[in-house]
Structure 1
Amino acid sequence: MTHGSLFSGIGGFELGAQMAGIETIWNCETDPFCRSILKKHFPNATQYTDITKLKSPPYTDIISGGFPCQDLSIANPKGEGLEGKRSGLWKEMFRIIYETRPRYVLIENSPMLLRKGIGTILLDLSQVGYDAEWHCLQARDFNLPHKRERLFIIAHSKRIGCIGNIITKEKYQKSLHKEATRDSHLSLPIKRFNARSDYDTVRMYNGFSAELDKNRIKACGNAVIPSIARFLFECIQEHNNT
């Protein structure tokens, strides 16, 4: 299977795909620092910069993307949801899905999307021939010492047939057994929260290399956790092979 990545950041989905044995054919990211990381670690992937100018990229079996959450986030109670300037970039992601028609679509965002726009996304996908399921997954269930809950929507083209859920309870429990132990959730010392030291430490501990510079916190804060991405890609592979 092949993979194309939108809103790629520093390559959380790319790294998860690589772990699952899936090649990333292209990615799309505006931030120069993030693009430098993508170029270093995925040199063979075609790199695009501006999603609003990206027209009909090469076909891939899977398209992933975590479109901006600023207009959805709980930190922005007055956010306009999918009508906002940033989160409204879903429309561009949807356009590319419509143009390329991948077998699978993988979307990441804030759990607040459940209150601010998931119905629109599901309707959009349905109207162009996709069934979808969604799950809220937490970092601490994948051997990381923080919660970091994110919503993942996985859609598959109706043309491949309705063959059950992509993520099942059994697959999730099996992944927990493989990736994490309950003892590992509190591997960092328990102490009074310090907004500087603890925030930096927890945001750093997410499965990426330690090579990133002063932009690391911002980049990692926006990134999809690779071990979760790997789990999702492996579920898609199994679904595709049934």
Structure 2
Amino acid sequence: MHPVDAPTIVDLFAGAGGISEGFRLEGFRALAASDIDPDACATYKLNFPGAKVIHGDVRKEAVAREILEASQGADVVVGGPPCQAFSQVRNHIRIIDDPRNSLYKEFVHIVSEVRPKVFLMENVTGIDQMGFREQIVSDLELGGDYVVMPQVIDAADVGVPQTRKRLIFIGVRSSLGLAAPSVEQSGITRSLALRRLMKKGDRGYKYVLMAEADLFTSHLGRVLADPMDMTAVTASQAISDLQVLRAGDRLDQIDYSKLPAPQSAYQQFMRDGSQGILSNVQVPRLMEDTAQRLRAIPPGGNHRDLPEALTQRNLTGQKWGQENGSGKLSRRHFYAYRRLHPDVWSWTLNTKADSVYHYKDVRALSVREFARLHSFPDRFVFTTDSRPGPLDGRHDGGAAHSRYRQVGNAVPPLLARACAAAIRRSVFDALAVESLQRALKAA
């Protein structure tokens, strides 16, 4: 529980609540949140019972009005609005005016109406690659009302066991007279990388963590290898205590007494605040075709490690998915044959259970293991709206797929926490010091 005078946030396009969780870890209190996905809203409600959760399309007047009413007095507005037109817009067209960017426009509008002390907007780094950073900063400055700091942050550089680059815009109200903060990063993702090496005797390949000569420091190598240092976290440091889970397990909860003791500081941190029962541990069944291929892929490997015989479309006669007429796996299948490496962070997770497989066991990961790699603590439970069938904003695929999707779409909480820590120090701590100094002078 946070004190009632804790800085408050409103989370737009909140999904399951990754940004809100990161800010909560840093002492902020969620006031309200909105999203179009009813299942994500159900998860948010479960994990933030004190917040008002608004389900619906923010472009609809009634929904926008409800969000604005719930946001009055908020200290911080956060969110990651989809920006569909960034790949087509030309520099002479203002991004906010493109009709395909209506969600981005709504974010800017809500900030302009609420006038929070601080805002944070998250988006993909493709915006940078297409040269739109300056235009977005101009829109977010609201004619000089805000000082805006854009920054690319890799989640693995702030302690998330997953590489995931995001472009973060932090804006501070100009009238406060404070600079918009930047977020400190370890830089470890630029110093270390997996390399594919031939095994001795031409017996296939292995993946080895190697240093980038120009950037590597021995300190960072020690940091990653130390299970008690959370500066950087490997896949095994994140999920090795959950190795008891098995493919096809149908139970979605397990008692912590059935698990080994935490094997790293990160695992202990993930368990803090949980109530003895771990949720979201169900593991998908595995087709024999997939199992055969995974056995041929070393930790850290992918479809490139498959021998020719295992690239056939059907190995055991089981029919699955669409055929492409070639009798071979197609490019669209390649992303599905990737195994974690225990000694380094995960690659960027997407919204599907088959986007990553265990580094040791021949199986997919549970939603909980996805969540661990995303830095959601174990007390954070993923659920779905109890109403069956199609609902406004619900994605097809069923409850299990929805939970993977909610994790994969979320901003990693520890990435959000790093931002929240910078905001707290640069803005709220500074304001508290100013207030104290004024009080002392008045006395």
* Structure 1 and Structure 2 fold alike (TM over 0.5): yes
Structure 1 residues 225 and 191, CA gap change in structure 2 (3 angstroms): same
Deviation at 1:220, TM superposition (A): 2.0
- The residue that corresponds to 1:3 in the other structure is 9
Match of 1:195 in 2: 335
Cα distance in 2 between the residues matched to 1:211 and 1:103: 31
Offset, 1:142: 3.2
Query: 2:375 — aligned with what?
Result: 207
Query: CA–CA distance in 2 between the matches of 1:179 and 1:93?
Result: 33
* Partner of residue 121, structure 1: 136
Rounded Cα–Cα distance in structure 2 between residues aligned with 1:165 and 1:45: 27
Partner Cα separation in structure 2 for residue 24 and residue 195 of structure 1: 36
What is the 5 A alignment of 1:122-201? 122-126=137-141, 127=143, 129-162=145-178, 164-167=179-182, 171-173=184-186, 179-181=230-232, 184=234, 189-193=299-303, 195-198=335-338, 199-201=355-357
Structure 2 CA distance for partners of 1:186 and 1:43, relative to 1, 3 Å: closer
Deviation (angstroms), 1:211: 4.5
Count the aligned residue pairs.
233
Contact kept in structure 1, 2:13 and 2:81, CA below 8 Å: yes
Question: What CA deviation, in whole Å up to 9, does each residue of 1:36-74 have, x standing for no partner?
Answer: 0001001111112232231333221100010014444xx
Q: Is the 1:135–1:151 contact (alpha carbons within 8 Å) kept by the matching residues of 2?
A: yes
Q: Could you list the per-position Cα deviations for residues 12-41 of structure 1 after superposition, in whole angstroms to 9, with x for gaps in the alignment?
A: 111001101100100011101100000100
Match of 2:104 among 90, 103, 108: 90
Give, in angstroms, the shift of residue 141 of structure 1.
Answer: 1.6
1:221: Cα distance to partner? 2.3
Residue 17 in structure 1 maps to residue 17 in structure 2? no
Q: Give the whole-Å Cα distance in 1 for the aligned partners of 2:15 and 2:402.
A: 12
Whole-Å separation in 1 of the counterparts to 2:402 and 2:121: 24
Superposition deviation, residue 130 in structure 1? 0.3
Mapped to 2, the partners of 1:60 and 1:197 lie a distance apart of 45
CA deviation digits over 1:179-233, x for unaligned, max 9?
423x737869322255225324599221235755321332222211100101111
Counterpart Cα distance in 2 of 1:3 and 1:172? 24
- Mapped contact 1:4–1:25 kept (Cα < 8 A): yes
Match of 1:234? 421
In the other structure, the counterpart of 2:74 is: 60
Kindly indicate whether the alpha-carbon contact (under 8 Å) linking 2:186 and 2:231 is maintained by their aligned counterparts in 1.
Answer: no
* Range with greater deviation from structure 2 (53-62 or 206-215): 206-215
Provide the aligned C-alpha RMSD in A: 3.0
Structure with max Cα Rg: 2
Q: Which runs of 5+ in 2 are unaligned?
A: 1-6, 188-219, 224-228, 240-298, 304-333, 339-354, 358-364, 384-399, 431-443
Which residue of the other structure, out of 46, 51, 54, is the alignment partner of 2:58?
51
Inter-partner Cα distance in structure 2 for 1:79 and 1:48: 31
Answer with 100-109 or 198-207: which moved more: 198-207
- Distance in 2, Cα, partners of 1:192 & 1:112: 25
Counterparts of 1:89 and 1:119 in 2: how far apart (Å)?
Answer: 19
Higher relative contact order (CA 8 A, sep 6+): 1
Q: Percent identity, aligned pairs only? A: 24
Q: Who is 1:111 aligned against?
A: 125
The residue identity in structure 2 corresponding to 1:58 is Q
TM-score normalized with structure 2 length:
0.48
Q: Which runs of 5+ in 1 are unaligned?
A: none
Instruction: Give 1:165 deviation, angstroms.
Output: 4.6
Structure 1 residue 102: deviation in Å?
A: 0.2
**Structure with a larger share of its residues in helix:** 1
Partner of 2:287: none
Question: What's the TM-score once normalised by structure 1's chain length?
Answer: 0.83
Q: How many angstroms does 1:84 deviate by?
A: 5.3
Report if aligned partners of 2:73, 2:116 keep a CA contact under 8 Å in 1: yes
- Say if 1:17 and 1:233, in contact at 8 Å, map to a contact too: yes
